[in-house]
Amino acid sequence: MLTVNRVYDLLLREYGPQHWWPGRTDFEVAIGAILTQSVSWKNVESAIRTLRGERLLHPRRLHALGARELAPLIRPTGYFNQKAKKLLNFLDWFRGYGYSFAKAAGADTAILREELLAVNGIGPETADSILLYAMGRKVFVVDAYTRRVFTRLGILLGSESYDAIQRMFHARFRGGVPEYNEYHALIVNHGKEVCRKRPLCGRCRLARACPSRVSESDPAASITRTAG
């Protein structure tokens, strides 16, 4: 069976560095992590362009808006009324650090994670994306692609909790922050491009060692370890 370290090496060799997370500043990365919930990145880019055009990619200026003013500006991201409230909730938390990730530099990662998870509208994936990509903390981001790919590879059962999957990566993956950053991006790319809901196993670098591989020339073949 493949190990998580071997999967990383193979995916990196296949796709190369992904240069995540797209964003000009750490604050923009954090905003993007909230806005991308349940929507494609293309829509997030559109909202971020609007915010930039309005000179609102600045925490104090953004926080000065009410949800009613903010919501129309992020309309392309869907659920924009809810997301406006989530952004403002996040900014309430961020104000506690003087609107500066640098001022949170001395804070313990576990405490920061607890605080972020206590923000209404921020779940584990968003909290961990902010911690890893905006704050440079060594936390593995788990998403639906992670669950799907690693279940198909036989490394996960598919029924594990978010935290159990994260603990597995923390225990087994040898990388530091740059590799954690890269690995999540590679998994997302692999899940979108190859290990799709209907996987393109014929194009997969992991296929030789994957117990779930299917032959694309065999229309009767179906994948058994799907997990999403």
Q: Summarize as ranges the residues that interact with ligand SF4 (CB under 6 A).
A: 149, 152-153, 194-195, 199-201, 204, 206-207, 210, 212-213
Q: Which residues contact 209 (CB under 8 A, 6 or more apart)?
A: 1, 2, 153
Min dist CB 14 to ligand SF4, Å, is: 10
Separation in Å, CA 105 to CA 36, 64, 111: 25, 25, 12
Shortest Cβ distance from residue 187 to ligand SF4 (Å)?
A: 10
DSSP string across 43-102:
HHHHHHHHHHHTT--SHHHHHTS-HHHHHHHTGGGSSHHHHHHHHHHHHHHHHTTTT-TG
For ligand SF4, the closer of residues 20 and 150 by Cβ is 150
Nearest to 169 by CA among 135, 201, 142: 142
Can you tell me which residue has the tokens 């993956």? 173
CB of 173 to ligand SF4, least distance (A): 17
| Nearest approach, Cβ of residue 19 and ligand SF4 (Å) | 23
Rank residues 116 and 153 by Cβ distance to ligand SF4 and give the closer one: 153
Q: Which residue lies nearer to ligand SF4 by CB, 76 or 199?
A: 199
* 163 vs 193, beta carbon nearer ligand SF4: 193
